[in-house]
């Protein structure tokens, strides 16, 4: 993508401006952006509904068995539970195929969304076909990027688990030694550890999104997009911005979770239709992914402006032909 054609949009943004531009970009170009993701989300949503229908039945049977067996304070029979799970397995082949499709196919519509949101933000008007042509070119590098982040995520999970285990042991010994003061300190440390884990998870997600944009917008290979995305988010400016933007993302995710839970509860209570509930979830997912694509696009360009002076680079490139004339 040629950013030299960008209008006067590239400048450092406040968090409020970033959110405002994300909403404006999403609303203004919602239909063309949502259609890019809908061609994947609709068939995926139907496949997910049928793949998880048996899973929901399994959970309902297990829940009913637990309620029956625990009436009167009787202990739960693990043999009966194992028999039910053997007859109604939780992890089915259809669910495995669905997860594989999400890992291997989902980067394609996401790349088309990245291409279009970036182009719309910079003043271009890509078509549906143009967006997917770029997405097809970047599809394999994005799959490679997924594997790189999968490995990094597993490594990060192991490190965080070990750190939390050591921290829990230390706090437990302190609580036993210092009694009341130790318990209060353990509560504070526990809350701090919980917030730290959320912060690490959000920063990891923002690094992934930044790498995705680097791969698509800058046509970077997977390994370079991986390293550059992490470096941009963990840089001195990037980390501070990531924490602010991550807080906004966490609030948005919480709001979406509440909207999804309340909406599905109302649908189940009033309509009693799992199909309507699935359709509501699908439409909400398309809207959320479309907005987050716009939100992350502006975050990506804002990072490059703040860390690399992208706005000054673009201004210099635009002024060069005028100086030659």
- How far from chain centre, in Å, is Cα 248? 13
Q: Mean pLDDT across the stretch 294-300?
A: 92
Which of 161, 151, 313, 309 has the alpha carbon at shortest distance from 230? 151
What's the pLDDT score for residue 191?
A: 81
pTM value is: 0.81
pLDDT more than 70, % of the chain = 79
Higher pLDDT, 252 or 28: 28
Q: Mean pLDDT across the stretch 151-164?
A: 91
Nearby residues of 25 by Cβ (< 8 Å), 6 or more positions away? 117, 120, 121, 294, 297, 298
Cα(284)–Cα(281) distance, integer angstroms: 5
Domain ranges of the chain: 3-29+117-319
What's the pLDDT score for residue 81?
A: 56
What's the pLDDT score for residue 4?
A: 44
Q: Mean pLDDT across the stretch 227-238?
A: 87
Q: Mean pLDDT across the stretch 37-60?
A: 77
What's the pLDDT score for residue 30?
A: 94
What are 121-136's pLDDT values in tens digits?
A: 988 889 999 999 999 9
Q: Mean pLDDT across the stretch 303-324?
A: 73
Return the structure tokens found at 86: 């053997």
Q: Mean pLDDT across the stretch 54-75?
A: 59
Q: Mean pLDDT across the stretch 25-34?
A: 94
pLDDT reading at 169 higher than 60: yes
What's the pLDDT score for residue 243?
A: 83
Q: Mean pLDDT across the stretch 142-166?
A: 91
Cα(152)–Cα(158) distance, integer angstroms: 10
Query: What's the CA dihedral at 150, 108, 120, 31 to 10 degrees?
Result: -120
Q: Is the dihedral of CA 19, 20, 22, 27 positive or negative?
A: positive
What are 38-49's pLDDT values in tens digits?
A: 999 998 888 777
pLDDT reading at 271 higher than 80: no
pLDDT reading at 77 higher than 60: no
How confident is residue 117, by pLDDT bands cut at 50, 70 and 90?
very high
pLDDT reading at 145 higher than 80: yes
What's the pLDDT score for residue 272?
A: 74
What's the pLDDT score for residue 286?
A: 93
Higher pLDDT, 306 or 180: 306
Mean pLDDT (the chain) is: 81
What's the pLDDT score for residue 31?
A: 94
């Amino acid at each position: 993508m040629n950013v030299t054609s960008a209008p006067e949009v590239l400048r450092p943004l406040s968090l409020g401006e970033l959110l405002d531009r994300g909403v404006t970009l999403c609303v203004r170009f919602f239909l063309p952006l949502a259609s890019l993701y809908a061609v994947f989300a609709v068939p995926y949503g139907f496949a997910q509904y049928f793949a998880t229908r048996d899973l929901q039945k399994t959970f309902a049977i297990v829940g009913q068995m637990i309620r029956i067996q625990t009436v009167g304070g009787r202990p739960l029979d693990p043999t009966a539970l194992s028999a039910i799970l053997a007859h109604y397995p939780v992890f089915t082949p259809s669910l495995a195929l669905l997860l594989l499709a999400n890992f291997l196919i989902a980067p394609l519509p996401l790349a088309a969304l990245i291409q279009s949101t970036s182009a719309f933000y910079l003043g271009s008007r890509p078509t549906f076909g143009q967006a997917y042509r770029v997405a097809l070119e970047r599809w394999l590098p994005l799959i490679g990027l997924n594997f790189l982040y999968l490995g990094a995520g597993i490594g990060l999970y192991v490190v965080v688990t070990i750190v939390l285990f050591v921290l829990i042991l230390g706090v437990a010994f302190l609580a036993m030694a210092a009694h009341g003061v130790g318990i209060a300190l353990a509560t504070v440390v526990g809350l701090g550890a919980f917030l730290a884990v959320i912060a690490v998870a959000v920063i990891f997600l923002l690094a992934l999104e930044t790498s995705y944009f680097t791969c698509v917008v800058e046509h970077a290979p997977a390994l370079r997009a991986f390293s550059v995305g992490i470096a941009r988010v963990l840089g001195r400016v990037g980390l501070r911005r990531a924490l602010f933007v991550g807080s906004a993302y966490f609030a948005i995710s919480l709001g979406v979770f509440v909207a999804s839970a309340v909406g599905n509860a109302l649908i189940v209570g009033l309509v009693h239709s799992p199909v309507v509930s699935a359709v509501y979830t699908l439409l909400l997912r398309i809207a959320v992914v479309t907005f987050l694509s716009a939100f992350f696009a502006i975050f990506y360009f804002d990072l490059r402006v703040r860390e690399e002076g992208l706005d000054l680079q673009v201004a210099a490139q635009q002024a060069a032909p005028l100086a030659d004339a």
